[in-house]
Amino acid sequence: MTSVVFMGTPQFAVPILEALLADPAYDVQAVLTQPDRRVGRKHQLTASPVKQVAQAAGIKVFQPAKLSQSAELDELVAMAPDLMITAAYGQFLPTRLLAAARVAAINVHGSLLPKYRGGAPIQYAIMNGDAETGVSIMYMVKQMDAGAVLAKRALPIEATDDAGTMFEKLSYLGRDLLMATLPKLLAGEIEAQPQDESQVVFSPNITTAQERIDYRLPARLIDAKVRALRPRPLANMVIDGVVTKLLATTPLAETTTQAPGTVVRVEKHALILAGGQGTTYRIDRLKPAGKPAMDITAYLNGHQNLKAGVQAITDDND
């Protein structure tokens, strides 16, 4: 059996870990994941999805807050597994740990490297309006997501996809690609391809400032950002003076001469706004600050002042 130490935290990593646990060719000796976090309105201390799977399988779990300064690091190095496999773990791995793998330390990354190195590759692919994204299996090195690529596989981004649907699709794609790649790697049948540094695009973690939509963008990119940040943290605009999270929008084919952010038309069940470059879009579902999520019909009932020609969207809340 090939010994494995697995490192991952969110749901993205779960199908990958489950596949390794189910395959008798692999012996998962330990799992490394982020510490339990407080989540939800009640702030309940909750284990990561990866920890829950590992515990159910009786696998030893390590959860150092900072791996490089932890006592657990020495224990993990001493294990000297054949493979170290990561999938969205959430911390940098010390060089000493990477070197402890007898065969290889590899990562399942949610993009087509060298495009979108960093912590939010799926969100950036959607937000930038890319036609496709994918997964890459790469060697881990000290530099972030810079290792030579063993395999990669593409997947189209549909117009209805958001971060939630793409995370799920790519987690299964990553699982399948990893399980197909490992036998070839162990047999020495793969020649890894160095990444072209001239083509590198970074995708750092999404900041609070990035959640605000630039309403001057074309409608398709406004919609892309809404989908990229759904189901969380959700994108927002200042609509009628209130910071409002957008849950669903629809780019439209019609054009307008109105300035971006202006109401083009109000119907009983529709609010049509002007985007940049003469484009238009419809807001379908939204959540004003301090209020529950609602469809546009309920929202318009309380915003009778939003009429054609009104500048509905501004840069700052009142």
Interval 107-150: pLDDT, tens: 999 999 999 999 999 999 999 999 999 999 999 998 999 999 99
Mean pLDDT of 92-105: 96
**What pLDDT does residue 72 have?**
93
pLDDT reading at 75 higher than 70: yes
Other C-beta atoms closer than 10 Å to the C-beta of 237 total 27
pLDDT reading at 64 higher than 60: yes
**What pLDDT does residue 112 have?**
98
pLDDT reading at 169 higher than 60: yes
Q: Which amino acid is at 258?
A: Q
pLDDT reading at 262 higher than 70: yes
Query: What are 26's strand-pairing partners?
Result: 2
pLDDT reading at 77 higher than 60: yes
pTM, to two decimals = 0.94
**What pLDDT does residue 317 have?**
65
Angle among Cα 168, 103, 181 to the nearest 5 degrees reads 40
**What pLDDT does residue 40 have?**
79
Lowest mean pLDDT among 53-57, 65-69, 84-88, 115-119: 65-69
Comparing CA positions, the residue from 112, 130, 131, 124 lying closest to residue 193 is 112
pLDDT band at 282 (very low <50, low <70, confident <90, very high): very high
Task: Please state, rounded to an integer, the average pLDDT across all residues of the chain.
Answer: 96
**What pLDDT does residue 313 have?**
96
Q: Residue 164 is inside which H or E element, if any?
A: helix 163-186
pLDDT reading at 184 higher than 60: yes
| Cβ proximity of 73 and 92 under 8 Å | no
Query: What are 135's strand-pairing partners?
Result: 153
**What pLDDT does residue 318 have?**
52
**What pLDDT does residue 42 have?**
79
Q: Check residue 262 and report its DSSP letter.
A: B
Please list, in sequence order, all residues whose beta carbon lies within 8 angstroms of the beta carbon of residue 20, skipping any fewer than 6 positions away. Answer: 4, 6, 26, 28, 85
Residue, of 44 and 83, whose pLDDT is higher: 83
Mean pLDDT of 54-79: 95
pLDDT reading at 241 higher than 70: yes
pLDDT band at 258 (very low <50, low <70, confident <90, very high): very high
pLDDT band at 244 (very low <50, low <70, confident <90, very high): very high
Question: E strands within the chain?
Answer: 2-8, 26-32, 37-39, 44-46, 60-62, 83-87, 104-109, 115-117, 132-139, 149-156, 201-202, 235-239, 242-252, 263-267, 270-274, 280-288, 294-295, 313-314
**What pLDDT does residue 311 have?**
97
How far is 132 from 228, CA to CA, in rounded Å? 13
Q: Which two tokens stand for residue 315?
A: 């840069």
Q: Which two tokens stand for residue 239?
A: 């609509």
pLDDT band at 39 (very low <50, low <70, confident <90, very high): confident
